[in-house]
Amino acid sequence: MDFLKQLQQNLAKGPEYEAEMAQSPLSKEPLVRLIAYYLPQFHPIPENDEWWGRGFTEWTNVTKALPRFEGHYQPHLPGGLGFYDLRLADTLRDQAALAQKYGVSAFCFHYYWFHGKRLLETPLQNLLDNPDINISFCINWANETWSRRWDASNNEVLIHQKYSIEDDLEFAESIRPLFSDPRYININGRPLLMIYRPGNLPDAAATIQRLRDYFREAGLGNPYIVMPQTDNHNDPREFSFDAAAGFPPHNGGWDTQNIRRSVTPFESWRNEHIARYDDMVQNSMMNDPKEFKLLPGVCPAWDNTARRQSGGICFIGSTPKKYGTWLQNACEKVLRFSNPDERIVFINAWNEWAEGAHLEPDVHYGYAFLMETSRVLNRLIMEITGSGATRPFLEIQKNMAHNGKIPFVRRLMRKIFFISADICEAIGRCLRFLGDKFSG
């Protein structure tokens, strides 16, 4: 396939395309709380105008993307919600309604705080100003310095992240209105707070203690503080956190085999790292610690070549069915937790369009990833009530665990799931082809 045919295929409805459902496909209230990471960079701000050019938003990167090799799905262009502007409260209202419709119960907003200065705060402020927007939420403090390395151009620093005792308290004061909002996520009365890079904190234990003391004294409870598994920091106890969270491709994606030589490029290589989506999924499925709490994470796909003109990373082979297999595995892990409030799975992401990681509908897949999300949630309800066809897999896993053979069973189950996903998708493609043939 040449470049033009690949581009035409990417911009057309694919064989897995699904249209929006008129009504919610959920059969009952989900057993697992799905929280999708939410990127607020879809509206212009003065700082981005200065750094990247007037009118810059994440859509600027998205629309520059092109396929770089045969089978490469780029660009990812929005479907049902269009090229939206997050300055409009109605945009967030539509996103929240769509998420709830398919079983995503909450957004985790990336929160940009730099020593008293906030960036990209408009969407979150719109949420606070509009109590009728029906979505639960929490925040992830993205505590890292911004530089031009984000687009792989150079390491010029754009805005520094600084730390001090005073800054800890100012940060706590800035998020106090969020914790006071009745839609804010609580774990048994404890507001859920994520801090992206705890290893960047000069004294993480001291900072965490100050935050806990501040909010207890404010009458808002002792925060339930989680950290994504990033930068080889996997155990939350290292920083006095309560739990870890999945944030793929971190901890499972970056060390996958580069298969760049096995694909056919459309132009000379620019240091891309191309890996199999299946490899990232299997690495994540094997991440199941017992010594600390992990709230697992999944992603529908991941490809940041829209942001990077060279040195991009993409995971090929993602499909809605494979994503669903991964999501179901993550949900089954948290259903073992005795505390229902901790039955949480994070999804990367709701709208990371320039990283190819979005549940929001696009022109090629439509609502397929959202539909697969609701299918997994419905399937779990069937399994727990004993009426699902896949319940025997859970029983086998439970019984074999007592005999010390659980690693073997997990590997076997993964292979069965992936084979089943491939078979289902092949059948679906055939049926769609036949339908088009006879309808024409």
pLDDT tens for 297-351 read 999 999 999 998 788 999 999 999 999 999 999 999 999 999 999 999 999 999 9
CA–CA distance from 427 to each of 162, 321, 434 (Å)? 54, 12, 11
CA nearest neighbour of 285 among 234, 228, 328: 328
- Tell whether the model's pLDDT for residue 431 goes beyond 80: no
CB 348 within 8 A of CB 295: no
Residue where one domain finishes, among candidates 388, 408, 425: 388
User: Interior CA angle at 293 toward 292 and 294, to 5°?
Assistant: 115
The answer to whether residue 47 sits within a structural domain is yes
Same domain, 429 and 299: no
As a whole number of angstroms, the distance between CA 394 and CA 383 comes to 8
Same domain, 328 and 245: yes
Same domain, 332 and 427: no
Instruction: Give the pLDDT confidence score for residue 433 in this predicted structure.
Output: 45
**Beta bridge partners of residue 195, listed in sequence order:** 141
Q: What does the pLDDT look like over 204-224, one tens digit per residue?
A: 999 999 999 999 999 999 999
The answer to whether residue 333 sits within a structural domain is yes
What torsion do the CA atoms of 169, 172, 177, 179 make, to the nearest 10 degrees? -150
Same domain, 165 and 219: yes
CB 364 within 8 A of CB 17: yes
Per-residue pLDDT averaged across 27-39, rounded?
Answer: 97
Distance of CA 82 to the CA centre of its chain: 20
CA–CA distance from 235 to each of 37, 82, 113, 200, 251 (Å)? 21, 39, 24, 15, 12
- Tell whether the model's pLDDT for residue 363 goes beyond 70: yes
Same domain, 349 and 367: yes
Tokens of 208: 């965490």
* pLDDT, greater one: 245 or 147: 245
The answer to whether residue 239 sits within a structural domain is yes
- Classify the phi-psi angles of 281: left when phi > 0, otherwise alpha if psi is within -120 to 50, otherwise beta: alpha
The answer to whether residue 20 sits within a structural domain is no
CB 36 within 8 A of CB 106: yes
The answer to whether residue 225 sits within a structural domain is yes
Class of residue 21 by CB neighbours under 10 A (exposed 0-12, middle 13-18, buried 19+): middle
Q: What does the pLDDT look like over 258-304, one tens digit per residue?
A: 999 999 999 877 778 999 999 999 999 999 999 999 999 999 999 99
As a whole number of angstroms, the distance between CA 216 and CA 191 comes to 11
Contacts (Cβ under 8 Å, ≥6 apart) of 168: 207, 210, 211
- Tell whether the model's pLDDT for residue 401 goes beyond 90: no
Per-residue pLDDT averaged across 241-249, rounded?
Answer: 98
Same domain, 355 and 420: no
Q: Per the structure, how many domains does the chain have?
A: 2
Same domain, 381 and 434: no
Instruction: Give the pLDDT confidence score for residue 372 in this predicted structure.
Output: 98
Using CA of residue 40, residue 18, residue 79, residue 6, what is the dihedral sign? Answer: positive
State the maximum Cα–Cα separation within the chain, in Å, rounded to a whole number.
70
CA nearest neighbour of 343 among 138, 192, 187: 187
The answer to whether residue 111 sits within a structural domain is yes
Per-residue pLDDT averaged across 352-358, rounded?
Answer: 98
Mean pLDDT, rounded, of the chain: 90
Per-residue pLDDT averaged across 11-36, rounded?
Answer: 97
Same domain, 259 and 406: no
Same domain, 336 and 424: no
The answer to whether residue 17 sits within a structural domain is no
Residue where one domain finishes, among candidates 356, 373, 388: 388
The answer to whether residue 19 sits within a structural domain is no
- Tell whether the model's pLDDT for residue 412 goes beyond 80: no
Same domain, 238 and 160: yes
Q: Phi first, then psi: what are they for 264, rounded to 5°?
A: -105, 110
Q: What does the pLDDT look like over 84-101, one tens digit per residue?
A: 999 999 999 999 999 999
190 falls in which pLDDT band (50, 70, 90)? very high
- Classify the phi-psi angles of 95: left when phi > 0, otherwise alpha if psi is within -120 to 50, otherwise beta: alpha
Same domain, 275 and 313: yes
Residue where one domain finishes, among candidates 370, 388, 406: 388
Domain region containing 364: 3-12+26-388
CA nearest neighbour of 259 among 298, 310, 313: 313
- Tell whether the model's pLDDT for residue 230 goes beyond 80: yes
Using CA of residue 233, residue 235, residue 241, residue 247, what is the dihedral sign? Answer: positive
- Tell whether the model's pLDDT for residue 390 goes beyond 80: no
pTM exceeds 0.85: yes
Instruction: Give the pLDDT confidence score for residue 85 in this predicted structure.
Output: 98
Instruction: Give the pLDDT confidence score for residue 384 in this predicted structure.
Output: 85
Same domain, 383 and 395: no
- Tell whether the model's pLDDT for residue 244 goes beyond 70: yes
CATH number, position 176? 3.20.20.80
